[in-house]
Amino acid sequence: MSGSLALESKLKIAYFGQLGTNTHIAAIQKFGSSSVYIAGATLKDVFLEVERGRAHYGVVPIENSTEGTINHTLDLFVESDLKICSEIFMPISYTLMSKPGDLKKVKKVYSHPQALGQCRVWLEANLPGVKILESASTARAAQLAASESFAAAIAPDLAAKLYKLKPIAKRIEDMQDNFTRFLVIGKTSAEKTGKDKTSIMVSIKDKVGALFSLLYPFEKQGINLSSIESRPSRKKAWDYYFFIDFLGHVDDPKAQKALMEIEKASLTVKVLGSYPRSEN
């Protein structure tokens, strides 16, 4: 990506959500304020913008330290040929905001389901009985709150400035160490750095010991797994894809040996990308 930054006068970056969402903030953190940003109403839209060449890279959320994996992001990698080029770990903090900026006037709260889940305890303690409504994004929640006198939104601080809302309470997330991991997706692979992470997708054969045959080659080669998630294939009942993150680059000799063994015991092995590890 550093090569692209040097060669391109204006990088075009697609991101999930609207102005003021955490994904928008993460994209700016990675690519700077001089890039051109394209909002995607859905995660699929972000993939399409990059696949069709309208954006150089896309930024999508993949997991939160409180609420877990964003499964829809995983599902989109099944059919897409895009590569993971980088990852971003960003601390997440939320503010309750409204037009009047008065907690006593709040009759309903809008936010994205992930944000609501991350602020659940605070909401129960401070706004018991208040109507909680899901929105497409935290920025959309701020837009809705800006149009109603008795509504509030849970969103990042930036949304209050963008949509002319007053903060009521800051840092309302239930966990202080609240992080979200974002992925940067593109058409080209990242260069090897020596401190890399690799993501793969595997479909295993339906037989006794299939999961063991998937995991044992990593243990045999001394490769550390940082994440493993399963998703239904949607092709037949009880058929799953496994998404695995391991430390190291796909070109490392040990990784090559492990992947060769896994390929023999699996139906499909797809390398989603090797990319620099982010220090969270």
Alpha helix (H) residue ranges in 172-242: 210-221
Q: Which residues carry out catalysis? A: 180, 182
Give every CB contact of residue 71 below 8 A, 6+ residues apart in sequence: 229, 231
For 218-266, the pLDDT digits (tens) are: 999 999 999 999 998 776 665 789 999 999 999 999 999 999 999 998 9
Q: What is the C-alpha to C-alpha distance for residues 13 and 21, in angstroms, rounded to an integer? A: 14
Q: What is the C-alpha to C-alpha distance for residues 137 and 74, in angstroms, rounded to an integer? A: 19
Domains, the chain, ordered by start: 2-91+178-186 (3.40.190.10), 95-170 (3.40.190.10), 196-276 (3.30.70.260)
Instruction: Report pTM.
Output: 0.87
Task: Supply the DSSP symbol for 193.
Answer: -
Q: What is the C-alpha to C-alpha distance for residues 200 and 272, in angstroms, rounded to an integer? A: 5
Q: What is the C-alpha to C-alpha distance for residues 241 and 261, in angstroms, rounded to an integer? A: 17
For 147-200, the pLDDT digits (tens) are: 999 999 999 999 999 999 999 999 999 998 889 999 999 999 899 999 999 999
Helix (H, G, I), strand (E, B) or coil at 162: helix
Give every CB contact of residue 241 below 8 A, 6+ residues apart in sequence: 74, 78, 201, 202, 203, 230, 231, 232, 233
